[in-house]
Chains A and B, each alone.
Chain A
Amino acid sequence: MFNSYLSNTLEYYPELCINCGMCSTVCPHGVFGPDGKVAQLVNPKACMECGACQLNCPTKAIKVESGVGCASAMMLAAVKGQKEVTCGCDGSCS
C-alpha cells in the first residue's frame, strides 16, 4: 500500500551480459551487483530510471525508459501537451 515505486521500466537480459561491470559502476543506487558470472540485478526497486546503465552497457542487455522523475515538470508537460519532459531543476538537484 502507498508505494508507487515498487515497479519501474527497468529490464535486464542476463543472457546478453558479458560481465563488463559497467552497470554496477555507473548506477547511483546499487541496482546491479558485480558479483557473479553475469551482472546481478540485486535491487531493482531502487532504480530511478536515470538511464546511465542502458547508455553504457556494451551489449544492450539493459533497457530502461529514462526520464526526469520530476512531478512539476510532468504536470507542466501534461498541461502543455508536450511529449518530452524536461526538468527545470537548474541547480536545484545536485
Chain B
Amino acid sequence: MARLGVKRERHLIEPGLYTMGKPTKESPVFVSANYTLSFDALRSALHGNDCYILVLDTKGINVWCAAGKKTFGTNELVYRIEVVGLNDVVNHRTLIVPQLGATGVDAREVRARSGFKVEFGPVRAADLPEYLKTHQATREMRRVRFTLSDRIVLIPVEMKNFLIPVLIASVILALVGNYTAAAAAMAAAFTGLVLFPIFLQWIPTTDFSIKGFLIGGVTAIPFAQNAFYGMTNETMWVRYGWALAYMLVIPSISAFLALNFTGSSTFTSVTGVKREIFLYMPKIAWMFGIGIILIIVLIAMKLLEGI
C-alpha cells in the first residue's frame, strides 16, 4: 500500500532518534529516512543489534529520491544531530549513512559542521550484517541493481498513473461498438506498463523508447493480422486501415510508457533521457496522432454506413 501512495501520511515515521535493543554510549548510529519502507528495511536488517537509528525528515520519501532532492542531505542531517543531542547520547563520532544518501550528504561538510564522521554503508540495508563485520563494503554491495523483482514492485505504481485514461479510452471504444479496438487499448497499456518492465533487460537496444516500440509492435501484430484476415466482410481499404492504425497506435503508446519508465529506473542519466525525448517524442506523437485520426475516420465511416 505504501508504494501506491494511498494514505501516505500513515507511512511517515516521526523524525528523531530511535533505539534498537539496549544501546550504550559506544553503540553505532545508523541514519535513515522517515519513509516506512526505508525504516523497516533497516530495522529488520539490524534485528538483534544494539544500536541507534537517526531518522531524518525526508517528507516520507525514500533515501535515494530524497537525497536527489537534498531533503536527505547535509543540512537536515546536521540539524537532526543537534535536535536529538547526539553529542551527548554517544561517545564516538561516527554515523553510518546508506550509500544512496551520498547524492545529498556531503561527508566532509557534515564532519566540519557537526564533528561526526560519515561512513557510507552498503546500498541495501540487507547487506548491513555482512558489512558490519569488517566495515568494508564489497563491490557488489556498492552497486545499485534493477532486478526483475525491483521492477515488478514498480508495476502497480506506474499502473496507478495511467489506469483512468486507459479505462476511459476502452469504454469509449466499446461504446461505439468496437470491442477489438477497446481490447487493443488495454493491450497497449498492458504492454507498456506490465510487459515492458518485466522484459526490460531482455529486449534488444538500450533506448527505452525503442524497446517500447519493439515490444508494442509485437503486441500489435495479432491485432493487425486479425484486422487484415478477420474482417472479411469489410472492403480491402477498411482492413488495411485498421491494420495500419493498430501498428501505429499500439507501439506509440507502449514507447511512450516505456520512455516514462526511465523515471523509475536506477540507471538512466538526465543527458540520455533528454536525448531520448528529443529524438523519439515527435515520432511517438506523430504515430499516435495519425493512428488515432485513422481510427476516428474508420469508426465514423462505419457509423455513417449504419444510418
Nearest CB in chain A: distance from B152 CB, A: 12
User: Which residues does chain B contribute within 8 Å of A46, judged by CB atoms?
Assistant: 267
Nearest CB in chain A: distance from B64 CB, A: 6
Q: What sequence of 0s and 1s flags, for each residue 71-94 of chain A, a beta carbon within 8 Å of any chain B beta carbon?
A: 111110010000001111111111
Q: What's the Cα separation between A70 and B68 when bound, in Å?
A: 12
User: Which residues does chain A contribute within 8 Å of B65, judged by CB atoms?
Assistant: 87, 89-91, 93
Q: What sequence of 0s and 1s flags, for each residue 207-225 of chain B, a beta carbon within 8 Å of any chain A beta carbon?
A: 1101000000000000000
The answer to whether A47 and B62 touch (CB under 8 A), given A29-B143, A71-B263, A89-B264, is no
The answer to whether A26 and B99 touch (CB under 8 A), given A7-B271, A70-B273, A93-B266, is yes
User: Which residues does chain B contribute within 8 Å of A26, judged by CB atoms?
Assistant: 99, 102, 120
Q: What sequence of 0s and 1s flags, for each residue 96-116 of chain B, a beta carbon within 8 Å of any chain A beta carbon?
A: 000110111111100000000
A contact patch SS: loop
A91–B210 CB distance below 8 A: no
Q: What's the Cα separation between A26 and B103 when bound, in Å?
A: 8
Q: How large is the interface on A (under 10, 10 to 19, 20 to 34, 35 or more residues)?
A: 35 or more
Nearest CB in chain A: distance from B36 CB, A: 9
A75–B281 CB distance below 8 A: yes
Nearest CB in chain A: distance from B266 CB, A: 7
- Tell me, yes or no, whether B269 is within 8 Å of chain A by CB: yes
Nearest CB in chain A: distance from B265 CB, A: 8
Q: How large is the interface on B (under 10, 10 to 19, 20 to 34, 35 or more residues)?
A: 35 or more
User: Which residues does chain B contribute within 8 Å of A66, judged by CB atoms?
Assistant: 68, 103, 270
Q: What's the Cα separation between A92 and B8 when bound, in Å?
A: 13
The answer to whether A91 and B157 touch (CB under 8 A), given A66-B103, A71-B276, A75-B277, is yes
- Tell me, yes or no, whether B133 is within 8 Å of chain A by CB: no
Residue from B69, B150, B206, B263 in contact with A5 in the complex, judged by beta carbons closer than 8 Å: B206
**Which residue of chain B has the shortest Cβ distance to A27 in the bound complex?**
B142
Residues in chain A within 8 A of chain B (CB atoms): 1-5, 7-9, 22, 24-30, 46-52, 55-56, 58, 65-75, 78, 85-94
Given A7-B271, A65-B271, A74-B270, 20 more pairs with CB closer than 8 A: A2-B205, A3-B206, A4-B279, A26-B99, A30-B142, A48-B266, A56-B106, A68-B270, A69-B268, A71-B260, A71-B273, A71-B277, A74-B274, A86-B69, A91-B3, A91-B35, A92-B263, A92-B264, A93-B64, A94-B62
Pairs A-B, 5 closest by C-beta atoms? A70-B263, A26-B102, A5-B272, A28-B144, A4-B275
